[in-house]
Amino acid sequence: DTGVSQDPRHKITKRGQNVTFRCDPISEHNRLYWYRQTLGQGPEFLTYFQNEAQLEKSRLLSDRFSAERPKGSFSTLEIQRTEQGDSAMYLCASSSAGGRTEAFFGQGTRLTVV
């Protein structure tokens, strides 16, 4: 297993377009997190899955953002009608169930909205 992988690594899109990012977690991990990080800031929580169930979604997340995790495996994060303020690094992390809660992060997808 090579860890958490995210695709694409970079995405440039025009304002108003939709974008979708993919995250493949470590195979035995049932917990999956999405975060957004802007320059000089810490990762900001977006949403959390346990298996296929989306259990937590940040109140800061607008309706333009949606995430899925079909069959509890890979996850996708879609942003509709992108705005310049959506430009950021989008990070995915996974962790196993039980007491081992440390998260393993992917390299992130850097989104630039022009």
Partner 1 sequence: SQQGEEDPQALSIQEGENATMNCSYKTSINNLQWYRQNSGRGLVHLILIRSNEREKHSGRLRVTLDTSKKSSSLLITASRAADTASYFCATHSYSGAGSYQLTFGKGTKLSVIP
Q: Which stretch binds partner 1 (CB under 8 A): 21-29, 63-71, 77-85, 96-104?
A: 96-104
CA pair distance 112, 10, nearest whole angstrom: 8
Cα-Cα-Cα-Cα dihedral sign, residues 62, 64, 69, 75 = negative
Question: Taking every pair of C-alpha atoms in the chain, what is the biggest distance, in angstroms?
Answer: 43
* Amino acid letter, residue 38: T
Among residues 11, 86, 106, 113, which is the contact residue for partner 1, using CB under 8 A? 106
| Of residues 41-80, those binding partner 1 (CB under 8 A) | 41-45, 48, 50, 55-56, 58, 60
Site residue total, partner 1 (CB under 8 A) = 29
Residues 93, 95, 98: CA angle, nearest 5 degrees: 155
Which of 61, 76 has the CB closer to partner 1? 61
Residues in contact with partner 1 by the rule CB under 8 A: 4, 31, 33, 35, 40-45, 48, 50, 55-56, 58, 60, 89, 91, 93, 95, 101-108, 110
